[in-house]
Amino acid sequence: MLSYCSICGERFRNQEELNKHLRIKHRNKIKRIILEHPIR
């Protein structure tokens, strides 16, 4: 099953590869999103 990066649209074979990509490529953007929209 293919997974897509919601930020850049890149395709990945599985969720683990997508998670790794998000941690590496979009680390700063994800930090900012979490700070702006904290989970209650």
The whole-number pLDDT of residue 36 equals: 80
Q: How far is CA 34 from CA 1, 4, 16, 28, 37, in A?
A: 27, 20, 20, 10, 5
pLDDT in tens, 1-39: 799 999 999 999 999 999 999 999 988 887 787 778 777
Beta-carbon-side half-sphere exposure of residue 25 (alpha carbons within 13 Å): 12
Q: Based on DSSP, count helices (H) and strands (E) in the chain, helices before strands.
A: 2, 2
The whole-number pLDDT of residue 17 equals: 96
Distance of CA 1 to the CA centre of its chain: 17
Residue reference for tokens 């702006």:
36
pTM above 0.85, yes or no: no
Can you tell me the distance from the alpha carbon of 25 to that of 6, in angstroms, rounded to the nearest whole number? Answer: 12
